[in-house]
């Protein structure tokens, strides 16, 4: 989503910065305006109003610099983005310093919250020392640029070929050749090795910035953005993971078994029962949906071939584009027709996603969205393809940046990105400092809540899949499809920041970066590289959010929260059947509830916002388990008599009980 954060401290709009913190104090007796405590002529409330205005005024220039550096990667755009970011972070430090004068002074509750949020506005706390600040933003721009431009080359001279992330992901998505996948996986990871020095220095610099703000380290600062004590927040994530871990372990067991059937007992696992990292159909093992061919429970029971439908749409678009060019189109005309069709199908996919939001009563995207969005990968320059959503000016210039391909994963990612955009548009009514998610997990969960409502019935109603078979087998197939995206993700969503929290607090020193990374991958996800990955590599850098410095626990939270949101919206829509059957497509009441939550932004603690939507103040994995109950039952039966669980590096078993054991 908003990634602008990159550098942007402030930027980003929404969510970006997203560390929303601060607890709202108990409401004062009366909502009478607080007496103005005047500091040098300015009251606290006037101060907050001023920084809101200055923030908003400075915002478009920062987002423009960031947009250019992400959609036009070169030294110049990086320099400009780094400079813009440098100014923004320096300004932020000035505001935070000024805000200290108002501590303990009377001010409105909103101003108190705004000042607390101000301190947490960036995920890249910057040292005040101008040289260090400049060094920090330069490194940040360089790392993100390096990620976007990453390329894996083989061969020499005329035989030299280079592939970027998108092409390497295509291999993992589609090839079932063990060695081809290993090559693609290793190739991409080799591009990250040179980032290691930059990252280690980056950590030192942001830690200095965090210390100047009064935090023990950057990880503590990140964990302070949840309207609760940072330690309590960390404990919450443990609690949530414990709730859903048994479901993940069943899915892991089933998947490993199928991989061993496909690749052989030896190659289908890494010693200790771990899943080989290059065989999950995904570069980071975070979404296993591409393994559908191997993992589909009942062949053909309810066909959910979304990728097939999108490819068909592309072929149609291509046919139309070729037809326009007439008989005897040469190679160049054919190439242009292909580009035209790629753009056409990408826009059709986006219109499809927009239609869901509009069906809930939300507005159509503004015309400028369609003009300024990056839908497909440009041919003439490097860009950051990692999907993101941008609020450029807090007043309607919204855009997404993707390199859309006609496949299921990208289709659902568009729904995800539009969730950010509709959040941005909804909270544009708030003062700038409240233009953010209730917490960053909320921002990530909006579009995904819609994805949960993309039931087979919905997909059939929009002509994406054929009329749906009913019955137990179709249900299990539909649940498996969702689980490969949502359940497989859970431990991944947790481990990235387990690693960064350790890096920031110093318990993971640079000479153990890679070792600690793979220990955590093994412990939480039960995956391992097929070949040794020593400290010459920097595998964390191969995942966008590390060089992009986007906190990741938000996605773990989102993958729990979205089921709670979904359940509440289903109830609002009057659905009484099992949770997994519900869609609220076209339901105005669900839309009204959703929109009301979005419009609150970060204006109150997230617990209050959650309560308004769901009736509860707690994030809770119960809805995940309720949703997947049929699949979990089915998986247990499938895994009966098998030895499930894994050993993570000898001593650190995935769970106390996860040493290979027999379940069932
Ligand atoms: O980064 C994203 C979005 C943008 S906020 C495309 N996601 C995470 C990822 O790709 O790693 C969405 C799910 C997890
Ligand atoms: Zn997102």
Active site residue 571: no
- Does ligand 1 come within 6 angstroms of the Cβ of 4? no
How buried is residue 637: exposed, middle or buried, by Cβ count under 10 Å (0-12/13-18/19+)?
exposed
Is the CB of residue 424 less than 8 Å from the CB of residue 383?
A: no
**Can you tell me which atom of ligand 1 is nearest the CA of 388?**
4
CA of 662 to the centre of ligand 1 (A): 35
Task: Name the catalytic one among 387, 445, 483, 653.
Answer: 387
- Does ligand 1 come within 6 angstroms of the Cβ of 1? yes
Task: Tell whether the model's pLDDT for residue 468 goes beyond 80.
Answer: no
Q: Rounded to an integer, what is the distance from CA 269 to the centroid of its chain?
A: 28
Active site residue 386: yes
Task: Tell whether the model's pLDDT for residue 651 goes beyond 50.
Answer: no
CA of 516 to the centre of ligand 2 (A): 26
Distance CA 356, CA 240 (A): 30
At residue 364 the predicted structure's pLDDT band, cuts being 50, 70 and 90, is very high
Q: Which of 380-384, 399-403, 456-460 has the lowest mean pLDDT?
A: 456-460
Task: Name the catalytic one among 3, 189, 278, 386.
Answer: 386
Residue with CA nearest ligand 1 atom 6: 387
- The length of the chain is 664
Task: Name the catalytic one among 252, 420, 443, 559.
Answer: 420
Is the CB of residue 128 less than 8 Å from the CB of residue 212?
A: yes
Q: Say if strands 398-401 and 527-528 run parallel, antiparallel, or are unpaired.
A: unpaired
* Residue 393 DSSP one-character state: S
CA of 651 to the centre of ligand 1 (A): 32
Task: Tell whether the model's pLDDT for residue 191 goes beyond 80.
Answer: yes
- Residues 522-541 have pLDDT tens digits of 999 999 999 999 999 999 99
Task: Tell whether the model's pLDDT for residue 20 goes beyond 80.
Answer: no
> Which ligand is nearest the CA of 410, by number?
1
Best residue among 387, 402, 440 to mutate for probing ligand 1's pocket (most ligand atoms within 8 Å of CB) is 387
Task: Tell whether the model's pLDDT for residue 664 goes beyond 60.
Answer: no
User: Residue 655: its pLDDT value, please?
Assistant: 44
Does residue 384 lie in a domain region? yes
Residue 504 contacts by C-beta under 8 Å, 6 or more apart in sequence? 203, 206, 207, 210, 217, 218, 219, 220, 222
Residue with CA nearest ligand 1 atom 14: 555
431: which 2 tokens?
Answer: 């003062």
Task: Tell whether the model's pLDDT for residue 610 goes beyond 90.
Answer: yes
- Does ligand 1 come within 6 angstroms of the Cβ of 252? no
User: Residue 22: its pLDDT value, please?
Assistant: 29
Does residue 118 lie in a domain region? no
211: which 2 tokens?
Answer: 């210390």
Task: Name the catalytic one among 278, 416, 443, 559.
Answer: 416
- Does ligand 1 come within 6 angstroms of the Cβ of 404? no
Distance CA 183, CA 343 (A): 30
- Does ligand 1 come within 6 angstroms of the Cβ of 557? no
Active site residue 555: yes
> Which ligand is nearest the CA of 419, by number?
2
Distance CA 287, CA 573 (A): 29
Q: Rounded to an integer, what is the distance from CA 202 to the centroid of its chain?
A: 22
User: Residue 39: its pLDDT value, please?
Assistant: 59
User: Residue 41: its pLDDT value, please?
Assistant: 86
123: which 2 tokens?
Answer: 């995920």
Distance CA 477, CA 46 (A): 57
Active site residue 420: yes
- Does ligand 1 come within 6 angstroms of the Cβ of 496? no
- Does ligand 1 come within 6 angstroms of the Cβ of 555? yes
Helix (H, G, I), strand (E, B) or coil at 326: coil
- Residues 143-152 have pLDDT tens digits of 999 999 999 9
Helix (H, G, I), strand (E, B) or coil at 153: strand
- Does ligand 1 come within 6 angstroms of the Cβ of 559? no
- Residues 336-345 have pLDDT tens digits of 999 999 999 9
**Can you tell me which atom of ligand 1 is nearest the CA of 387?**
6
At residue 15 the predicted structure's pLDDT band, cuts being 50, 70 and 90, is very low
The average confidence (pLDDT) of the chain is 92
User: Residue 627: its pLDDT value, please?
Assistant: 98
CA of 33 to the centre of ligand 1 (A): 42
User: Residue 31: its pLDDT value, please?
Assistant: 38
Is the CB of residue 244 less than 8 Å from the CB of residue 624?
A: yes
Does residue 337 lie in a domain region? yes
243: which 2 tokens?
Answer: 């709730």
Number of domains the chain is built from: 1
C-alpha distance from residue 520 to each of 85, 91, 517, 654 (Å): 32, 37, 5, 9
- Counts for the chain of helices (H) and strands (E), in that order: 24, 10
At residue 470 the predicted structure's pLDDT band, cuts being 50, 70 and 90, is confident
Task: Name the catalytic one among 417, 483, 524, 572.
Answer: 417
Residue with CA nearest ligand 1 atom 13: 555
- Does ligand 1 come within 6 angstroms of the Cβ of 387? yes
At residue 327 the predicted structure's pLDDT band, cuts being 50, 70 and 90, is confident
Q: What angle do CA 197, 72, 413 make, to 5 degrees?
A: 85
Active site residue 545: yes
Q: What is the pTM of this model?
A: 0.93
Q: Which of 302-311, 363-372, 438-447 has the lowest mean pLDDT?
A: 302-311
> Which ligand is nearest the CA of 423, by number?
2
In 264-411, DSSP assigns E strands to: 275-276, 388-391, 398-401
**Can you tell me which atom of ligand 1 is nearest the CA of 544?**
11
Does residue 334 lie in a domain region? yes
Does residue 350 lie in a domain region? yes
Does residue 315 lie in a domain region? yes
Q: Say if strands 527-528 and 275-276 run parallel, antiparallel, or are unpaired.
A: parallel
**Can you tell me which atom of ligand 1 is nearest the CA of 420?**
5
* Residue 253 DSSP one-character state: H
Task: Name the catalytic one among 408, 444, 519, 571.
Answer: 444
User: Residue 12: its pLDDT value, please?
Assistant: 38
**Can you tell me which atom of ligand 1 is nearest the CA of 555?**
14
> Which ligand is nearest the CA of 3, by number?
1
- Residues 265-275 have pLDDT tens digits of 999 999 999 99
- Does ligand 1 come within 6 angstroms of the Cβ of 400? no
Does residue 157 lie in a domain region? no
Active site residue 208: no
Does residue 459 lie in a domain region? no
Task: Tell whether the model's pLDDT for residue 34 goes beyond 80.
Answer: no
> Which ligand is nearest the CA of 550, by number?
1
Residue with tokens 């609220």: 584
- Does ligand 1 come within 6 angstroms of the Cβ of 416? yes
Residue 565 contacts by C-beta under 8 Å, 6 or more apart in sequence? 445, 446, 449, 594, 613, 614
At residue 38 the predicted structure's pLDDT band, cuts being 50, 70 and 90, is low
Best residue among 489, 500, 555, 561 to mutate for probing ligand 1's pocket (most ligand atoms within 8 Å of CB) is 555
- Smallest CA-to-CA distance from 82 within 16, 141, 156, 25 is with 141
> Which ligand is nearest the CA of 5, by number?
1
The residues with which 308 forms a beta bridge, in sequence order, are none
Residue with CA nearest ligand 1 atom 8: 555
CA of 552 to the centre of ligand 1 (A): 9
At residue 439 the predicted structure's pLDDT band, cuts being 50, 70 and 90, is very high
Q: What is the mean pLDDT of residues 151-173?
A: 97
Task: Tell whether the model's pLDDT for residue 615 goes beyond 80.
Answer: yes
CA of 611 to the centre of ligand 1 (A): 26
User: Residue 199: its pLDDT value, please?
Assistant: 98
Task: Name the catalytic one among 314, 369, 427, 555.
Answer: 555
C-alpha distance from residue 71 to each of 47, 81, 136, 202 (Å): 36, 12, 21, 23
Active site residue 485: no
User: Residue 619: its pLDDT value, please?
Assistant: 98
User: Residue 23: its pLDDT value, please?
Assistant: 27
How buried is residue 274: exposed, middle or buried, by Cβ count under 10 Å (0-12/13-18/19+)?
buried
Counting residues of the chain whose pLDDT is more than 90, the rounded percentage is: 89
Instruction: Please give the residue range of the domain that contains residue 406.
Output: 303-424
The residues with which 661 forms a beta bridge, in sequence order, are 644
- Residues 93-142 have pLDDT tens digits of 999 999 999 999 999 999 999 999 999 999 999 999 999 999 999 999 99
Task: Tell whether the model's pLDDT for residue 650 goes beyond 70.
Answer: no
The residues with which 274 forms a beta bridge, in sequence order, are 270
User: Residue 305: its pLDDT value, please?
Assistant: 87
User: Residue 663: its pLDDT value, please?
Assistant: 33
Helix (H, G, I), strand (E, B) or coil at 164: strand
- Residues 206-259 have pLDDT tens digits of 999 999 999 999 999 999 999 999 999 999 999 999 999 999 999 999 999 999
Q: What is the mean pLDDT of residues 586-598?
A: 98
Of residues 10 and 570, which shows the higher confidence score?
570
Best residue among 384, 403, 413 to mutate for probing ligand 1's pocket (most ligand atoms within 8 Å of CB) is 413
CA of 628 to the centre of ligand 2 (A): 23
Helix (H, G, I), strand (E, B) or coil at 29: coil
């Amino acid at each position: 989503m908003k990634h602008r954060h990159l550098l942007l401290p402030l930027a980003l709009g929404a969510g970006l910065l997203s560390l929303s913190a601060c607890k709202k104090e108990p409401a004062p007796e009366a909502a009478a305006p607080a007496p103005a405590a005047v500091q040098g002529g300015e009251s606290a409330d006037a101060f907050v109003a001023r920084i809101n205005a200055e923030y908003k005024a400075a915002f478009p220039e920062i987002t423009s610099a960031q947009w250019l550096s992400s959609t036009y990667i070169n030294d110049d755009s990086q320099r400009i983005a780094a400079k813009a970011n440098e100014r923004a972070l320096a300004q932020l430090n000035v505001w935070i310093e000024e805000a200290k004068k108002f501590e303990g002074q009377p001010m409105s509750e909103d101003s108190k919250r705004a000042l607390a949020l101000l301190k947490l506005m960036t995920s890249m706390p910057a040292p005040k020392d101008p040289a260090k600040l400049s060094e920090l933003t330069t490194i940040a721009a360089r790392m993100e640029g390096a990620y976007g431009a990453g390329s894996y080359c083989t061969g020499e001279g005329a035989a030299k070929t280079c592939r970027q992330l998108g092409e390497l992901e295509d291999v993992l998505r589609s090839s079932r050749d063990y060695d081809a996948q290993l090559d693609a996986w290793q190739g991409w990871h080799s591009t990250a090795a040179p980032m290691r020095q930059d990252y280690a220095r980056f950590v030192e610099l942001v830690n200095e910035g965090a210390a100047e703000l009064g935090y023990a380290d950057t990880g503590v600062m990140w964990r302070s953005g949840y309207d609760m004590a940072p330690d309590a927040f960390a404990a919450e994530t443990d609690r949530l993971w414990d709730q859903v871990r048994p479901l993940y372990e069943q899915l892991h067991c089933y998947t490993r078994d199928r991989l061993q059937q496909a690749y052989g007992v030896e190659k289908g696992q890494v010693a200790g029962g771990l899943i080989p990292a290059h065989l999950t159909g995904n570069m980071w093992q975070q979404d296993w949906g591409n393994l559908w061919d191997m993992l589909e429970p009942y062949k053909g029971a309810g066909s959910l071939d979304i990728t097939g439908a999108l490819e068909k749409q592309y072929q149609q678009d291509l046919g139309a584009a070729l037809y326009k060019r007439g008989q005897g189109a040469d190679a160049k005309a054919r190439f242009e027709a292909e580009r035209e069709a790629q753009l056409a199908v990408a826009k059709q996919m986006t219109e499809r996603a927009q239609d869901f939001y509009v069906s809930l009563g939300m507005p159509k995207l503004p015309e400028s969205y369609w003009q300024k969005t990056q839908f497909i990968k440009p041919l003439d320059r490097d860009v950051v393809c990692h999907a993101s959503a941008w609020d450029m000016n807090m007043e309607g210039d919204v855009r997404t940046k993707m390199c859309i391909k006609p496949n299921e994963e990208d289709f659902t990612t568009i729904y995800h990105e539009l969730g950010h955009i509709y959040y941005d548009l909804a909270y544009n009514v708030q003062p700038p400092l409240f233009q953010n998610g209730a917490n960053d997990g909320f921002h990530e969960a909006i579009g995904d809540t819609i994805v949960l409502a993309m039931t087979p019935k919905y997909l059939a109603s929009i002509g994406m899949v054929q009329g749906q078979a009913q019955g137990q087998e179709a249900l299990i197939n539909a649940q498996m499809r969702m689980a490969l995206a949502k359940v497989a993700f859970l431990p991944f969503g947790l481990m990235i920041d387990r690693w960064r929290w350790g890096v920031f607090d110093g318990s993971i020193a640079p000479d153990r970066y890679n070792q600690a990374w793979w220990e955590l991958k093994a412990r939480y996800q039960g995956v391992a590289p097929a070949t040794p990955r020593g400290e010459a590599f920097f595998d964390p850098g191969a995942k966008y959010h590390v060089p992009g410095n986007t906190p990741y626990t938000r996605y773990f939270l989102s993958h729990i929260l979205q089921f709670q949101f979904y359940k509440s919206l289903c109830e609002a829509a009057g659905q009484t059947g099992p949770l997994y059957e519900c869609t609220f497509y076209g339901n105005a009441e669900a839309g009204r509830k959703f929109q009301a939550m979005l419009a609150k932004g970060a204006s109150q603690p997230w617990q209050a916002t959650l309560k308004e939507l769901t009736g509860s103040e707690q994030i809770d994995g119960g809805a995940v388990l309720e949703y997947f109950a049929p699949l979990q039952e089915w998986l247990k039966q499938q895994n009966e008599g098998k030895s499930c669980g894994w050993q993570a590096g000898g001593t650190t078993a995935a769970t106390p009980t996860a040493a290979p054991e027999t379940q069932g």
